[in-house]
Structures are given as structure tokens and as C-alpha cells.
Amino acid sequence: MKADSQNVTDYPNSNTIFMVWKLNEDPKLKDIFQQLCALVLNLNNSVFNRFPDSRASCVMGIGYEAWKKLELPKPLPKELVNYEEIKGEKHTAVATPGDLHFHLRADNKSVIFDMAIEISKLLSPFAESILEVHGFKYWDARSILGFVDGTENPHGDDRDYFAKIGDEDLNYKGGSYLFVQKYLHNMDAWKGLSTDEQEKVIGRSKENDIEMSDDVKPSNSHIALANIEGENGEELKIVRDNMPFGNPSTNEFGTYFIAYASTFSTVRKMLTNMFIGNPVGNYDRILDFSTAVTGSLFFVPTRNMLDEFSG
């Protein structure tokens, strides 16, 4: 049977809700999970039929501990592990708990709002909501920092290649590793920089989103360290769907970093470059202004697997 992936390669949308849940110990948990898988499939089918032009979807990821607790298939996906923090000399890519992750997208926020209500209604008696972030498209796909986000995202067939597992793990072909981090921005410090200084931190022009040439771009710029290559110089990419969020009255502004990848080792290599540095100590300068307060790894099974899990 052909692997029917969840919507991991959809392009970023105008409105997003991210939710992370921690499962309680409950004898009914496996039954509830069956209902949850059926609900996720139903939500996607329903919004596609009702609002075919809304680009709406619900993607569910499952964490390592949840996979074991729910007694899902073994062996597990090859790189599904308990994510461990990556600690540099100054900054840390922290590790935080999470059993289930939901990524809800739509042009119309009403659609994902109702999706979130249905998921929460089912899960609330059996799980704890530990994170909910409402993201939105900011101008022309910019982060709150003012720079375009996601320029290096792959396009076309490359999105499938870099986001979905291939023949290297046939048991989970079409699935995807999902890594997420919630970053909070120090906007006062960031605004204290001139535009020229900000551009050197990012490695791109602020207005036109043009990457600096290699002889000008600082080695500790975000672009220099977040773009990685394999041992033979091949490109290693992920599919990002980052979204900004913010609460002006509380001065909380940030970016929800979300990556879908065919292998988690690609994400780990990128994080190591950013937080430890390449070479060691030459960390990503953006981390002086953006702090990772969460970090969790999940696996996104195919729709076929969700259908099997639903009983």
C-alpha cells in the first residue's frame, strides 16, 4: 500500500495553532488514542470537503514516551528518541516533555479554532495541555524580528525528499520526524541594533531578503550556521513552517520553530552548529536575542498508520 503522508509538506498558512499535550496514566488511554486518530482523519477529510480552498489541515505527531505508553508498533522509527538538550558555552537548546503535538493550519482561523476545540474536548479528561501557541502570518512571511523567515525552504519534489522518510526505513516510509521549539525574542535588545548590525546577525538584507556573499557574511550569522551540508558536501535541508506569535500587552514576542525532516540527525546537526558553534564557540548570534524555552521531538505517522491505530 502506498504511504499516504499527513500534510507535512503543505506551505505555511495565514493562521496556525500549535498544541502540545502530556498523557496521563489512565486505563482508557488506548481507547481514547484510537478515537483521537479517527478524529484527526475526520477533521482533515471534513475541512477538505467543506473548505477546499482554505488550505486547512491537522497534523499529529507522537513522542517517544507516548509511543511506548500506547504500545504502538515495534521497532520504533529509527530516530525517534527522547530528545536531549544541546548545551553550548552560552546558549542551550533545551529539552522539554511532550507526548502529542498538533499542528493546525488554515487561511481562516475559525477552522483551526474549531479543530482545536474538538481535539481538546476529547483529550482534556485524559491529558494535560502543556503548550498552546497561536501563530499568524506577519506581513510577507516575516518573523517579529522583521526578516523574512523560511527563504531556504525546499520547493517542489524536494519538499517530499527532505521531509518524508524514504526506503531507508520501510516500516515508516512516508512518515516524518517533527522537531519544535518555542523561541522568545528580546525585542528591546534587538531594536537596539542598527539595521546593518541586524543584517549581520541574520546574514541577509532586511528589506529585500538577499543573502550576503560569503566574503561579507559573518561566520556566526544565522544563515551561515543554520544551512548545513553532509560529509560529501550534499545539501541537508528540512521543511520549516515557522510562525510568529506575540502578546503586545505583556511584551512577549517570539517564533515557533517547527521542522519536518526525513531524518532527525539533520535537525540535530543544525542545532549543534547553532548552539555549540562551528567551530566550537562560534555560535549563532541570533541566540543572543532569541531564547529557546522548549524543545521536543515527535514522529508523524502516515494517514494509513493513523487508520490502523484507530482500530
| Closest by Cα among 285, 295, 46, 270 to 189 | 285
Question: Tens digits of per-residue pLDDT, 84-140?
Answer: 999 999 999 999 999 999 999 999 999 999 999 999 999 999 999 999 999 999 999
Over residues 169-198, the pLDDT tens digits come to 999 999 999 999 999 999 999 999 999 999
Q: Which residues are catalytic?
A: 149
What average pLDDT does the segment 141-164 reach?
97
Task: Give per-residue pLDDT as tens, 269-286.
Answer: 999 999 999 999 999 999
* Exposed/middle/buried for residue 211 (C-beta within 10 Å: 0-12, 13-18, 19+): middle
Evaluate whether 271 touches 92 at the Cβ level (below 8 Å). no
pLDDT of res. 3: 73
pLDDT tens digits, 240-271: 999 999 999 999 999 999 999 999 999 999 99
Mean pLDDT of the residues in the chain: 96
Please give the C-alpha separations between residue 252 and each of 141, 183, 248, 294, in angstroms, as whole numbers: 19, 10, 6, 15
Cα 222 to chain centroid distance, Å, stands at: 18
Q: How far apart are CA 163 and CA 103, in angstroms?
A: 15
282, with CB counted inside 10 A (0-12, 13-18, 19+), is middle
**Mean pLDDT value of segment 47-64:** 95
**What pLDDT, on a 0 to 100 scale, did the predictor assign at position 232?**
87
Contact between 93 and 188 (Cβ < 8 Å): no
The residues, ordered by sequence, that sit 6+ positions from 295 with a Cβ below 8 Å of its Cβ are 83, 85, 93, 94, 95, 96, 179, 180, 181
Does 208 reside within a domain?
A: yes
Match 522548549 to its residue by C-alpha cell. 294
Range of the domain at 206: 15-309
Residue 294 has a pLDDT of: 98
Is residue 1 assigned to a domain? no
The C-alpha atoms of residue 133 and residue 254 are separated, in whole angstroms, by: 10
pLDDT value at residue 7: 97
State residue 1's pLDDT score.
43
Is position 3 within any domain? Answer: no
2 domain residue, yes or no: no
The mean per-residue pLDDT over the stretch 50-78 comes to 96
Q: Please check whether residue 284 is in contact with residue 227, taking contact to mean a CB–CB distance below 8 angstroms.
A: no
Whether pTM exceeds 0.95: yes
Counting the structural domains of the chain, the total is: 1
pLDDT band at 2 (very low <50, low <70, confident <90, very high): low
User: Is residue 48 a part of any domain in this protein?
Assistant: yes
Length of the chain: 311
In a domain, 6, yes or no: no
Tell me the per-residue pLDDT of 27-43, one tens digit each, with 9 for 90 and over: 999 999 999 999 999 99
The reply to whether 148 falls in a domain is yes
Task: Tell me if 5 is assigned to some domain.
Answer: no
One-letter amino acid identity for 303? R
Residue 44, pLDDT above cutoff 80: yes
Q: Where are the beta strands (DSSP E) in 123-166?
A: 127-136
